[in-house]
């Protein structure tokens, strides 16, 4: 596909990885200070000026507990902000990728969630991201909805950044063992989104590194990969870790529709090992 690609939320984990892969191509990457997606007029004007062929909409309010505390802001950003971007995409004649979440599900399914399983979010974050999916679908036909899970990258604060700086004396570290999902390398996701956007396979897709684990399993794998056998870990239940947002017990996704069009991601353990090699280098 030729023409300009726009990335929203370019200052975030995924946005930075998309920008790295689009470097040297016809692309405009916009962080929050360059494009606040809650400003409908600004969004429309900016995207009309650029006239992109593709918009990858990665900007969002992503603090799951923070969304619970400020539901109005979560709705304004994740639902209305997405509607603003989708309307501007429609007017510019652009295709759009909307990045959504595994937290649109309630976690009661036994086994991984498929693309057309029923949604039933438990949290303000999950609801407002689902409203974003619906808002974009109302406006656009040439739309990819890409649901992903538990992103990490070397940029910003995330699950891994805490563990890479831990001291043995900080232990035992307590991690929840009864919530599972797919830890996903933001670089792998960026590459898969760009591959998917080359197809005409519009609709809902799950894009995660293959396989799932718990927060505890993920932490154990990170510490093993970092060679930190000196840090003690303790497995706890979600009941022992109260938080503002309700989180699904099983939030594992399967990448069925993307695989059908040849877009695949490697297993999460392999992606994590290569990430650890990169940060060590
Ligand atoms: N992180 C995960 O584990 C995860 C899991 C499932 C799905 N997702 C989805 O994947 C996408 C990318 O996530 P990520 O991990 O890259 O998130 P991130 O690192 O938090 O990046 C999101 C970016 O959006 C920006 N943003 C927030 N409000 C904005 C606004 N009103 N206008 C413009 N930009 C705004 C943020 O800017 P500030 O930093 O200035 O706030 C941030 O740079 C999101 O759509 C998220 O919902 C993420």
Model confidence at 157: pLDDT above 90: no
Joined tokens for residue 209: 């590194």
Report whether 253 contacts 113 (CB < 8 A). yes
Q: Quick check: is 235 in a domain?
A: no
Q: Quick check: is 266 in a domain?
A: no
pLDDT band for position 24 (50/70/90)? confident
Q: Quick check: is 130 in a domain?
A: yes
**Domain CATH number, residue 116:** 3.40.50.720
Domain count, the chain: 1
Task: Please write the tens of the pLDDT for every residue from 183-200.
Answer: 999 999 999 999 999 999
Ligand 1 residue neighbourhood (C-beta within 6 Å): 9, 11-15, 32, 35-38, 58-62, 77, 81, 99, 101, 129, 148-151, 156
Expressed in angstroms and rounded, the spacing between residue 189 Cα and the centre of ligand 1 is 14
Q: Residue 211 and residue 252: Cα distance in Å, rounded?
A: 8
C-alpha dihedral, 188 to 250 to 82 to 141, nearest 10°: 80
Whose CA is closest to 1, among 94, 98, 99, 140?
Answer: 94
Q: Residue 152 and residue 275: Cα distance in Å, rounded?
A: 9
Q: Residue 132 and residue 60: Cα distance in Å, rounded?
A: 10
Whose CA is closest to 31, among 52, 58, 64, 8?
Answer: 8
What is the pLDDT at residue 142?
A: 97
Residue 152, Cβ density class (10 Å: 0-12 exposed, 13-18 middle, ≥19 buried): buried
Residue 126 belongs to what domain range? Answer: 5-156+184-209
What is the pLDDT at residue 85?
A: 98
User: Cis bond leading into 19, ω under 30°?
Assistant: no
Q: Quick check: is 242 in a domain?
A: no
Model pTM score: 0.97
Expressed in angstroms and rounded, the spacing between residue 172 Cα and the centre of ligand 1 is 30
Whether 216 sits among the annotated catalytic residues: the reply is no
Task: Please write the tens of the pLDDT for every residue from 97-133.
Answer: 999 999 999 999 999 999 999 999 999 999 999 999 9
Active-site residue (options: 125, 152, 175, 216) = 125
pLDDT band for position 1 (50/70/90)? low
Q: Residue 120 and residue 85: Cα distance in Å, rounded?
A: 24
Q: Quick check: is 76 in a domain?
A: yes
Joined tokens for residue 184: 């996903």
Of all protein residues, the one whose alpha carbon is nearest to atom 34 of ligand 1 is 32
- Given the DSSP bridges, would you call strands 173-176 and 203-206 parallel, antiparallel or unpaired? unpaired
Whose CA is closest to 188, among 120, 252, 273, 83?
Answer: 273
Task: Please write the tens of the pLDDT for every residue from 37-76.
Answer: 999 999 999 999 999 999 999 999 999 999 999 999 999 9
Q: Residue 174 and residue 134: Cα distance in Å, rounded?
A: 37
Task: Please write the tens of the pLDDT for every residue from 205-238.
Answer: 999 999 999 999 999 999 999 999 899 999 999 9
Q: Quick check: is 161 in a domain?
A: no
Q: Residue 242 and residue 230: Cα distance in Å, rounded?
A: 27
Q: Quick check: is 268 in a domain?
A: no
Report whether 43 contacts 85 (CB < 8 A). yes
Q: Quick check: is 73 in a domain?
A: yes
């Amino acid at each position: 596909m030729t023409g300009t690609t726009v990335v929203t939320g370019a200052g975030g984990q995924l946005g930075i990885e998309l920008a790295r892969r689009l470097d040297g191509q016809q692309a405009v990457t916009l962080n929050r200070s360059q494009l606040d997606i809650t400003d409908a007029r600004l969004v429309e004007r900016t995207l009309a000026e650029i006239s992109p062929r593709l918009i990858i909409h990665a900007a969002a309010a992503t603090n799951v507990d923070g969304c619970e505390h400020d539901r109005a802001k979560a709705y304004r950003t994740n639902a209305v902000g997405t509607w603003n971007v989708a309307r501007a995409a429609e007017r510019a004649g652009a295709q759009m990728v909307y990045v959504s979440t595994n937290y649109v599900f309630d976690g009661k399914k036994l086994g991984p969630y498929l693309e057309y399983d029923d949604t039933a979010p438990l949290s303000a974050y999950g609801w407002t991201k689902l409203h974003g999916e619906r808002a974009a679908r109302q406006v656009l036909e040439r739309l990819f909805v890409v649901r992903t899970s538990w992103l990490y990258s070397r940029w910003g604060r995330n699950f891994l950044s805490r563990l890479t700086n831990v001291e043995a004396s900080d232990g035992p570290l307590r991690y929840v063992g009864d919530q599972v999902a797919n830890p996903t390398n933001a670089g792998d996701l960026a590459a898969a989104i760009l591959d998917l956007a080359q197809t005409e396979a519009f609709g809902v897709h799950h894009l995660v590194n293959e396989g799932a684990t718990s927060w505890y399993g993920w932490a154990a794998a990170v510490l093993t990969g970092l060679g930190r056998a000196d840090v003690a870990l303790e497995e706890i239940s979600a009941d022992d870790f109260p938080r503002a947002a309700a989180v699904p017990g099983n939030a594992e996704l399967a990448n069925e529709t993307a695989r059908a069009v040849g877009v695949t991601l490697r297993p999460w353990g392999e992606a994590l090992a290569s990430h650890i090699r990169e940060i060590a280098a």
